Structure 1
């Protein structure tokens, strides 16, 4: 793995400005991104874009490639080559992401540079087929159901038939929508505009979900300053991350709306705009119910700004919060033309039984051990483990909520922790579920070791599903290789040549400079010393 590092371009004095080369001046205005790293990630995105037309979540009947000379790309050896190209592009993007992380660690790039690099990586995937999933087809089918006179919370896409249903993954054909009324309303709006054009529907859905990315970028700089992190680090974790670029945007998951709304709600709460914060968090819950976990923590932020005994302050904050929640959620339901049928539909994801969910893994492991004593069914073991996990999650929520009673950034940070735990302890876990909590945790202070663990988790989560959307969780050899690659990528964040493939002199020149945030909280960079990411101001030298 070759590492390239560019020295930070100094800001010229006014007297020397005319001597600065034009290219250097442009890089300075863009936040000093590494051109090689930027282009490397773009190459990875383009490779995944091209491969996605053959081995991604492709249409059952492709009106573009299906009857052309390029149709071979979708079948047989062509499809295999397309899949190999996707994985090659993913490896290149991970390489670029690690290189960008080195620049962030060494403070050679500003927040604007990370943002410019991330956007360059994202652009090619805006027009790709869904990658590593088929969820956008389910979203469109669920939006089409009410337009066809069906209740999306009572029946699945197979009740309707047609081109949208044809492209839904077989597992979800007869499953009611597990999403809130706001998302059903948005999906209905898209289908009413695109008609039966599935390609236009996927592109429109992705464009709509990008609103979540915009909201995240708006909230990130000021919220990061309040949570004690560095904006460029938060951008590297939350936006440049392949999970965001490939899964959330390339895959087109509606979790992206939640990822944007929750930070906005947290920022509004910390700024004292509490009713607005509850409104935005309620809208996030009206997309995915899991976002509702943040609401009790926002109430604590409000209560902490009031005077009097704790329980009296809590009551004064809770009553208007509950009223606001009820009005906003009812309005979303009325606008979408649906009732509360989405509540029982929330159990739909629990139909997924794989070991990515911690309680499911425990249940399956205990069942495997029990087979030594007799042939027993697996389901009771999984069900019991999931019930115990649910009780554990409730206990952890209460614990972190109580520890957040002083409000402020601590409450927001703990909300992120509980959201992450909810994804892990859920009866069913999908890779993008971890984004619920990390959209807040990314803005806190991180040690270099913590970032290495982030790389391991992110890279591994990228490959636990195949590009077609089918699970790879039981392909043990493949997962072992993927884990080894993830660990290698994490090590190379701090050791650019972990396999010692280069000369000692060259490797020594690339040693990463001091870690971005010392792990000791007493040594963290003060929030008021951090500069907004959007203005691209130069960082203090480490």
Structure 2
């Protein structure tokens, strides 16, 4: 196996010598000093991201997914930040904070590409940027209130897979669940319902403590990522520093997964750790962890059949015999772990029919939904008909397309090894894009495995563009912004600037000098 080429830094300047134009030597000296003083530059980058995170956390008190009645703000001297111009001001400041986090992430990415950032420095940056949002109101979502409500239902002896939060007695929890989810059963697995149930027992109707407590529990997913991702990169010929930068320092992780918070963080942490264990021959433990990930959110189960191939490839006998033995072992582990979690949680299998709950969301991030909306838009001038039939048919077709893609990718993964993980990442990506409803953080399902593979710098730039847009494509309150085209065009422009800035120090071309990263694949350092 050939060793991937290490990244090199090139510049848009002519080489030093008689042919250089005025000022070239000075600029190259600055770049050289950049490389000679990585500690100072990295400290500035980490501090920049911290300032952005603090700004986001504080401004979320007025512009985030705030409580209907906040005991700390409502009726006090700061209540003005929740309404009118005060709310507008905090919203603008929150966006500035997010952009500062993105800018710090891009700057850190340059250091990663140039080889001046280490694994430990990326981990420190992630910790420093994440810490402030642990205490903030929910960011760009209100899902956390639904989580706590589902735990409250289970604690009161109601089945969260049969009834929605509207069945709760009047109080802070029921009042703060978004109206869309008031009558919706929980689409999450029994392990997460158990976590939400315990959290509700500890915090009761105190939603501020509930939000912070749930964040701290879900933060265990981030700890698993910090442990697993560097080792996963070693197994998949990726780059440890790039992998961590792409996942744990990503604004998607800081703002959405932790700042939300979203239970996807715990799911992808268990998924990454389980995949790593399977790759290092600890098959039973790995399958058990991925089963636990599925018991948080069912999407993780998509990876399980691919991990069976990895186990099977290491067994003696024909391919059929290998698959039979590995499959039987995996089913036994899955059945034991999942049954145990279900019994302990005190709920049944009602989460399976409840999996279609997110389909209440209609947005064009889902490719089938977008196709249905576009088809309806083409037909609407000729016939007044609801868009619902078009969307339902396209979603059904999308499910069929996904099953075909999944089966094909699974068969291509039959030799096991790193290729099976790559195919699993692709299957997870298509599961998010072809789902009846897609939300920004769904894309982290594939990212957590794909990040450990080799990435050319230009592909990383596209990842920056996608991550930046996914952070900003909804409003800080959690309300949908996808139907606001001027807003989306603005966020796309911001995302492209961020992507360009990863490879070019002057993304807007305001100066004649530029600094480019050579688009060579980044191998393991």
Q: Same fold (TM over 0.5)?
A: yes
| Counterpart in the other structure of 2:62 | 54
| Counterpart in the other structure of 2:405 | 396
Q: Distance in 2 between matches of 1:265 and 1:104?
A: 26
1:353 to 355, 359, 362: 362
Q: Distance in 2 between matches of 1:321 and 1:315?
A: 10
1:205 to 186, 196, 214: 214
Matched, 1:35 2:48: no
Q: CA deviation at 1:295?
A: 0.6
| Counterpart in the other structure of 1:376 | 385
**Preserved contact between residue 229 and residue 243 of structure 2 (Cα < 8 Å):** yes
Q: Which runs of 5 or more residues in structure 1 are unaligned?
A: 11-23, 531-542
Post-superposition Cα deviations, 1:43-64, rounded to whole Å, max 9, x if no partner, equal 1111111110001000111011
Counting matched residue pairs gives 495
Q: Distance in 1 between matches of 2:303 and 2:347?
A: 24
1:222 to 218, 225, 231: 231
| Counterpart in the other structure of 1:267 | 276
Q: Distance in 2 between matches of 1:255 and 1:427?
A: 18
| Counterpart in the other structure of 1:483 | 492
Matched, 1:45 2:49: no
1:110 to 94, 112, 118: 118
Q: CA deviation at 1:376?
A: 2.0
Partner of 1:346: helix, strand, or coil? helix
1:324 to 313, 324, 333: 333
**Preserved contact between residue 161 and residue 185 of structure 2 (Cα < 8 Å):** yes
Q: TM-score w.r.t. structure 2 length?
A: 0.92
Q: Distance in 1 between matches of 2:263 and 2:158?
A: 22
| Counterpart in the other structure of 2:3 | none
| Counterpart in the other structure of 1:242 | 251
**Preserved contact between residue 131 and residue 467 of structure 1 (Cα < 8 Å):** yes
Q: CA deviation at 1:514?
A: 3.5
Matched, 1:277 2:286: yes
Partner of 1:154: helix, strand, or coil? coil
Q: Distance in 2 between matches of 1:167 and 1:38?
A: 35
Q: Distance in 1 between matches of 2:507 and 2:333?
A: 54
Q: CA deviation at 1:328?
A: 0.9
Q: CA deviation at 1:7?
A: 4.7
Q: Distance in 2 between matches of 1:244 and 1:379?
A: 33
2:159 to 132, 151, 173: 151
Q: CA deviation at 1:499?
A: 2.0
Q: CA deviation at 1:500?
A: 2.7
Q: Distance in 1 between matches of 2:375 and 2:518?
A: 45
Q: Which runs of 5 or more residues in structure 2 are unaligned?
A: 1-29
| Counterpart in the other structure of 2:314 | 305
**Preserved contact between residue 158 and residue 165 of structure 1 (Cα < 8 Å):** yes
Partner of 2:381: helix, strand, or coil? helix
| Counterpart in the other structure of 2:443 | 434
Partner of 1:291: helix, strand, or coil? helix
The 1:142/1:247 distance shift into structure 2, 3 A limit, reads same
| Counterpart in the other structure of 1:17 | none
Q: Distance in 2 between matches of 1:130 and 1:498?
A: 32
| Counterpart in the other structure of 1:537 | none
Q: CA deviation at 1:223?
A: 0.8
**Preserved contact between residue 457 and residue 517 of structure 2 (Cα < 8 Å):** no
| Counterpart in the other structure of 2:4 | none
**RMSD of equivalent CA atoms:** 1.6
1:258 to 267, 278, 283: 267
Post-superposition Cα deviations, 1:424-479, rounded to whole Å, max 9, x if no partner, equal 11000000000111000011100111111101111111122100010000110011
Q: CA deviation at 1:96?
A: 1.2
Partner of 2:380: helix, strand, or coil? helix
Q: CA deviation at 1:150?
A: 1.0
| Counterpart in the other structure of 2:417 | 408
Q: CA deviation at 1:416?
A: 1.1
Post-superposition Cα deviations, 1:238-291, rounded to whole Å, max 9, x if no partner, equal 011111110111110000011101111111101111111111011000000010
Instruction: Report which stretch shifted further, 70-79 or 203-212.
Output: 70-79
Q: TM-score w.r.t. structure 1 length?
A: 0.89
| Counterpart in the other structure of 2:92 | 84
Q: CA deviation at 1:382?
A: 0.6
Q: Distance in 2 between matches of 1:177 and 1:33?
A: 46
Partner of 1:326: helix, strand, or coil? helix
Post-superposition Cα deviations, 1:336-386, rounded to whole Å, max 9, x if no partner, equal 100111111101001111111110000100110011321122111111111
Q: Distance in 2 between matches of 1:319 and 1:344?
A: 26
**Preserved contact between residue 33 and residue 113 of structure 1 (Cα < 8 Å):** no
Q: Distance in 2 between matches of 1:340 and 1:501?
A: 59
Q: Distance in 2 between matches of 1:455 and 1:110?
A: 19
| Counterpart in the other structure of 1:14 | none
Q: CA deviation at 1:513?
A: 4.5
Matched, 1:363 2:372: yes
